[in-house]
Structure 1
Amino acid sequence: MLIAEAVTAGYRTPVVRQVDLQLAPGEIVGITGESGSGKTTLARVLAGLRAPSAGRVTVDGKPPNRARGSIAMVFQSPRAATNPQFTLAEIITEPARIRRTPIPDLTALITSVGLTPDLLDRRPHALSDGQLQRACLARALTQHPRYLILDEATAMLDAATTATIITLVRTHHHLGVLLISHDRPLLDVTCHRIATMHEGTLTTEDTATSPG
């Protein structure tokens, strides 16, 4: 289980305050809230990309730095999250090359996210935002994570691409997914639970419609 206990984090001043959150494998939890409420900072702390100033995060009982590969994250802007000099194939296989793990079957993987193999030799400038974000999801899935954090990952996408990504995430029943979004209707039909962030705290938690 991915657990945050009394997590406080920020920069000069805290932007996340005393947050408790649990995410189990196979569960989809949504977080919504206004811009600047601390959602992205919390996501980065949960992913082990930023240390909390107080409280702790554990991943299946371990600190994030001892659970490498257990958490993958897809960011809002695919262009900011990819190297413009890399081909799509290099973007998707980057984690495997860094960790020196087996390279996945790219044809099967890229097809699973709704792309075609002829795109593998293209660089980001030759791809749409939707195509590049699907590739970022494929890159995350190559890590075989137990937990996937989608930080406004569908915000720049059209409805068809959003539906493809959500459908693909749902097919990975073993994944614990944290879906951060301003799109409350999307969260209502996707998530098992929804929490609302306000000024750095999780102020409410609702039971959403059970995902289909």
Structure 2
Amino acid sequence: MVNADLLTAPPPAETPLPGVALDLRHISHEYRLKGEPLPVLDDVSLTAVPGEFVALLGPSGCGKSTLLRLVAGLEPPTAGELLVDDAPVTGPDPSRVVVFQDPTLYPWRTVWRNAALGLEARGLLRQQKHRVDEALAVVGLDGFASAFPHQLSGGMAQRAALARALVNEPRLLILDEPLGKLDSLTRIAMQGELVRLWQAKGFTTLLVTHDVEEALLLATRVVVFSPRPARIRAEIKVDLPYPRHRDDPKLVELRRDVLGLLGVGDATQ
């Protein structure tokens, strides 16, 4: 019998692609709302070493997803400096890939064609179409290449979104609540899948989640933010081996500490 409370993470079967080094220096950001400034991030400094898995936790609306957009290069920060491998982020790059809460698959394209979008947009599909097949195999969808999104379950659709990201061979995988809309059993399975992919591929990972337990199960470090405008309240190193168990006393203790930092105390999520 498979223990659903266990996240399996086999060792890498191939030489990992190195992840990036991430360096955020005094990042502040604001939006304009009816002509007035709306501060979202306030003097955020954060680093990640290549291959690290960092989870961001904080109250809803505090600015975590905004921070991901800045890292992805989708918009520039109002103030501060953002570096990837010591080079300033000036816009999007194929090496930095975002996976959102919604799979955002095109309904008129097959799973294979959805996964191929990045290569197609860059004019590389004809020469590197094998990467699409490889990515679908990695996420367990090689038997569904000709299926359409409406024929997939929620978990399978999210796997297709991951395959689309993996086709680009990301060095930084940016995850914005990618499991938030899945049912509990599918979410547990996908948590294990994310750990497996991260260990196998070696990319740096930045995850936004509202699930404290999920952050502690997946990440090597958890960063806790204050309410908006977000500042870093604490950074917690999760020094536990993989696979991790939900009932591990150390993890339970860390969960209690993080909930306290979030002002929830011992309340049940």
Deviations 1:97-155 (A, max 9, x none): 111222234333212112232x2222222222211111111111111121111111122
Given that residues 192 and 211 in structure 1 are in contact (C-alpha distance below 8 angstroms), is that contact kept between their aligned partners in structure 2?
A: no
Pick aligned residue for 1:53 from 60, 74, 78: 78
Query: Structure 2 residue aligned with 1:127, among 141, 152, 160?
Result: 152
Contact 2:22-2:47 within 8 A present in 1 as well: yes
Partner of 1:83: 106
Larger Rg over CA atoms? 2
Q: Which residue of 1 aligns with 2:260?
A: none
Deviation at residue 93 of structure 1 after TM alignment:
0.8
Amino acid at match of 2:165: A
How much does 1:67 deviate? 7.0
SS in 1 for 2:87: coil
What displacement does 1:21 show?
A: 1.2
Q: Which residue of 2 aligns with 1:169?
A: 198
* TM-score of the two chains, using structure 2 as the length reference: 0.72
Count, aligned residues: 208
Deviates most, 30-39 or 58-67: 58-67
Match of 2:239 in 1: 209
What whole-Å deviation, never above 9, does each CA across 1:33-56 have from its counterpart, x for those lacking one? Answer: 121111100011111112111112
Unaligned runs of 5+ in 1: none
For residues 40-99 of structure 1, give each alpha carbon's deviation from its aligned partner in whole angstroms, at most 9, with x where no partner exists: 000111111121111121111222237722211111111xx3322222111111111111
Q: Which residue of 84, 93, 100 maps to 2:123?
A: 100
Larger CA deviation: 62-71 vs 200-209:
62-71
Task: Give, in whole Å, the separation in 2 of the partners of 1:33 and 1:69.
Answer: 28
Instruction: Assess, with a 3 A threshold, how the Cα gap between structure 1 residues 28 and 166 changes in structure 2: closer, same or farther.
Output: same
Matched, 1:22 2:47: yes
Secondary structure (helix, strand or coil) at the match of 2:169 reads: coil
Q: TM-score, normalised by structure 1?
A: 0.90
Percent identity (aligned):
33
Q: Residue type of the partner of 1:177?
A: T
Q: CA RMSD in A?
A: 1.8
Q: Which structure 2 segments of 5+ residues have no match?
A: 1-20, 33-37, 243-269
